[in-house]
Structure 1
Amino acid sequence: MAQYKQIESACHNWAHSFLSLENFDEHGYFAESLYQSSKAQNQSKVVINLLTGEVSPGHIKNSRLAAFTKHIPWQFGKQLRSQNVELAMVRSARLEIRYDLQAGSVDYQGYVFRDPGSAPVAVPYCAEVYLIDDRGKQHAAKVKEWWRS
């Protein structure tokens, strides 16, 4: 049976995984690609629609980001279902990431990379997921930086 009380947990778990080091391909990590694109466009706030995969502002999206975002609706729906939340219960859902583009990278502890040159840059950001359910109620979940997890 579908449960509204699971929405925040499902949103948090999906975003935590999506922004983590587990989201990578042969060319690198999503977190690194998003930060580099945001910085190149001097865009401190990025919003991703979890129902469509649309990235806003659109000018930061490139082929690297498109490779990661094209499956968001399917991945997000799968996470919801795994926690007994039906997609029909969701009116809107978005992930907001805010960067301090003036901040430098931070030194993180506890991560060892086989190839340190391929390690993503650890930069401060604030990430939150906002979802409005079919009753009009807003749910929110904060997600820590991948290197703070």
Structure 2
Amino acid sequence: MKYKLIRSMAHNWSHSFMSEMNYVDGAFVYEDVYRLARERRGEKVIINWIPADGEDSREFPPRVQKCVDAYRAGLAEHLRRHHVDASALKVFRTEVYVAENFRMYVRTFVVDDRDKEHVAFVWS
């Protein structure tokens, strides 16, 4: 496995999750996540993919919970298609927050088995 593939894999995953192609139960999932981030006033909304923490998704609206569960079910296939070994990832998460400049940020964050961080902003 090439570690340089991790960043692009994570970016693609988070971008897909927060995109307008992720339409569930009559609305876009990103709208619910953005609303939650605005309510938290600077505190990050964190979706943990690895390790998959079922507890974190309980704080999300039902539409987001449903989507997180569906995405988690497809994570192994996504990693395989990107030639990334799941055992090489200690932490993989998507973070959404409102910064001090009042802009919404979506960031993907990964820590590999060498303790190296891979960070990419999906859009801001």
TM superposition score category, shorter chain reference: 0.7 to 0.9
Return the offset for 1:134: 1.0
- The CA deviation at 1:42 is 3.7
One-letter amino acid of the structure 2 residue matched with residue 50 of structure 1: W
The runs of at least 4 consecutive aligned structure 1 residues that moved more than 6 Å come to none
Matching of residues 1-149 of structure 1 within 5 Å: 2-39=1-38, 41-44=39-42, 45-51=44-50, 52=52, 54=54, 59=59, 61-99=60-98, 124-145=103-124
CA contact (8 A) 1:126 1:144 kept: yes
Over the aligned positions, Cα root-mean-square deviation in angstroms equals 2.5
Deviation at 1:76, TM superposition (A): 3.1
Deviation at 1:67, TM superposition (A): 1.1
Q: What is the CA-CA distance between 1:55 and the residue it aligns to?
A: 7.2
Tell whether the 8 Å contact from 1:97 to 1:127 is kept in structure 2 after alignment: yes
Q: Secondary structure at the match of 1:50?
A: strand
TM-score normalised by structure 1 residue count: 0.69
Amino acid across the alignment from 2:66: A
Which protein shows a greater Rg? 1
Deviation (angstroms), 1:15 = 0.8
5+ unaligned residues in a row in structure 2: which ranges? none
Cα separation, 1, equivalents of 2:23 and 2:55: 18
TM-score by length of 2: 0.82
Shift of 1:8: 0.3
Q: How many pairs align?
A: 122
For residues 115-142 of structure 1, what are the alpha-carbon distances to aligned partners after superposition, in whole Å with 9 as ceiling and x for unaligned?
Answer: xxxxxxxxx4111111111111111111
Higher fraction of strand: 2
